[in-house]
Amino acid sequence: MELASQAGIFVLTLATGAGLAVLFDVYRVIRRQCRFRTVLTYIGDFIYWVIATCIAFGMLLASNGGEIRLYVFIGLLSGAVLYYQLLSRYVIKSIMRMLRIAGGCLKYLFFVWQHIICKPLRWLLKVILAPARAASGVFGRIKNKIVK
C-alpha cells in the first residue's frame, strides 16, 4: 500500500475517531438528562460500543479492505482526543440547547393538541351525539315500559 493511500486512511480514521467521540457525547448528554440507573448505563454502554465497533469496522472495510494497522488505532485515538480537547464542550452545549428547543416544541405541540384540536373535537362530538343520547333515553324508557 502506498504512502498517499495510508495518509488518506489515517485522515479518515481521525475523522472516524472524532465522529465516535461526538456520538459518545450525545450518549453522555442523554444519559445525564434521563438519569440512567446502573443497569441502564450498562445497557447503554454496551449499545454504544456495539455501534462504535460497527462504524469503525465498516470504515476499515470501506477504506482499506479491513486491514488493521497501528496507524488505524493511533488515528482513532488521536481523532477522539483532538475532539475532546477542542470541540467537546461546544458540542455538548449545542446538544443541550437542541434538547431544550425540542422539549419546548413538544410542550407547544402538546398544548396545541390538547387545546386547539381535542377540545373543539370533544365539543363537536357532544353536540353531534346529544340527539342520539336523548333518543336513547326516550327509547330506553319506552323499552322499560314495554318490558313491564
Task: Provide the residue ranges of all domains of the chain, joining segments of one domain with +.
Answer: 3-86
117: helix, coil or strand? helix
pTM: 0.69
82: helix, coil or strand? helix
> Which tens digit of pLDDT belongs to each residue from 10-51?
999 999 999 999 999 999 999 998 888 889 999 999 999 999
Is the separation of the CB atoms in 72 and 9 below 8 Å? yes
What cell was used for 118?
Answer: 381535542
pLDDT of residue 46: 96
Lowest average pLDDT, out of 37-46, 110-119, 127-136, goes to: 127-136
Residues in Cβ contact with 8 at an 8 Å cutoff, skipping those fewer than 6 apart: 63
Average pLDDT over residues 119-134: 82
Angle between helices 70-86 and 88-111 (to 10 degrees): 70
Alpha helices (H) along the chain: 3-34, 38-64, 70-86, 88-111, 119-147
106: helix, coil or strand? helix
